[in-house]
Amino acid sequence: MPENHNRIVIVDNDPIVRAAVAQMLARRGAAEIVATLGSGHEAIDYCETHRVDAVLMDARMPGLDGISASADLKTHHPGLRVVIFSSYDSPPFTPHDGPAGASHAERAKADAFVSKSATIDEVEQALLGESCASSARNTLTGREHEVLNLLCTGMTNRQISRALGISETTVKTHIWLFPDEGVGDAAAVVGGRGASVPG
């Protein structure tokens, strides 16, 4: 596989889940699955000694949970993309529905959250989300980057507003400004998958 492919690690304490996700992602050919691991500790150890571009991290695992493991990885490997993989669509394991989820999002320092009920397209987009936002100029503010990253995971305006603790109008304003920053195509693509754009 070419060197420029994203190197992905899948972390889930359920061997059937991690094998199935690894197989489905590998078939798509956009990334190389370099390891499937069963715990947060294994993920931390692996990333210390191998080149990894992104980690799909189960939120709830025995021992070191995915939220804590994610925070550790982002602290020591800030360039690593970490996606929390959760079987819950509400707090405390996703940022979608209020302050509790947002708090966990901040603690995890994760780049994205995706539900285990999501399609493989959504999982792949979350893991490769940097490519979705790659056309953004460096002039985007920190908050605009946060909005764009969440938009690229397929979240709606309402979900983004709740995750970031800002109004839905503010989210729409940020999205409205993206075309001027060279990211209109990214917003449009994600909008076609369900994320709202201002009308």
Residues 6+ apart with CB under 8 A from 134: none
Residues 152 and 176 in one domain: yes
Residues 177 and 114 in one domain: no
Question: 186 in a domain, yes or no?
Answer: yes
Question: 103 in a domain, yes or no?
Answer: yes
Whether 182 has a pLDDT exceeding 70, the answer reads: no
Q: What is the CATH number of the domain that holds 157?
A: 1.10.10
Confidence band, pLDDT 50/70/90 cuts, at residue 187: very low
Residues 146 and 128 in one domain: no
CA atoms of 83 and 171, how far apart (whole Å): 22
Which tens digit of pLDDT belongs to each residue from 118-138? 788 888 888 987 444 444 444
Question: 168 in a domain, yes or no?
Answer: yes
Whether 189 has a pLDDT exceeding 60, the answer reads: no
Residues 22 and 114 in one domain: yes
Confidence band, pLDDT 50/70/90 cuts, at residue 106: low
Residues 164 and 126 in one domain: no
Residues 119 and 158 in one domain: no
Residues 92 and 186 in one domain: no
- Asked, as a colleague might, if the bond just before 99 is cis with ω within 30 of 0, I would say no
Residues 51 and 85 in one domain: yes
Question: 76 in a domain, yes or no?
Answer: yes
Question: 196 in a domain, yes or no?
Answer: no
Q: What is the CATH number of the domain that holds 22?
A: 3.40.50.2300
Question: What is the pLDDT at residue 139?
Answer: 52
CB 73 within 8 A of CB 80: yes
Q: Give the DSSP letter of residue 97.
A: T
CA atoms of 168 and 172, how far apart (whole Å): 6
Domain boundary among 108, 132, 156: 132
Residues 12 and 108 in one domain: yes
Higher pLDDT, 107 or 23: 23
CA atoms of 47 and 179, how far apart (whole Å): 36
Mean pLDDT (whole number) for 38-52: 95
What domain range includes position 127?
Answer: 6-132
- 48, with CB counted inside 10 A (0-12, 13-18, 19+), is exposed
Q: What is the helix (H) or strand (E) element at residue 53, kind and residue range?
A: none
Residues 40 and 108 in one domain: yes
Domain boundary among 81, 100, 132: 132
Question: 41 in a domain, yes or no?
Answer: yes
Orientation angle between helical segments 142-152 and 168-177, nearest 10 degrees:
90
Total number of domains in the chain: 2
Residues 19 and 76 in one domain: yes
Average predicted confidence (pLDDT) for the chain: 74
Model's pTM, two decimal places?
0.60
Question: 199 in a domain, yes or no?
Answer: no
Which tens digit of pLDDT belongs to each residue from 151-173? 766 677 788 888 888 888 887 77
Q: Read off the amino acid at residue 7.
A: R
Question: 68 in a domain, yes or no?
Answer: yes
Residues 33 and 92 in one domain: yes
Per DSSP, what are the bridge partners of residue 82? 55
Phi, psi of 100 (to 5 degrees): -60, -45
The structure tokens 């285990």 sit at 116
Question: What is the pLDDT at residue 88?
Answer: 60
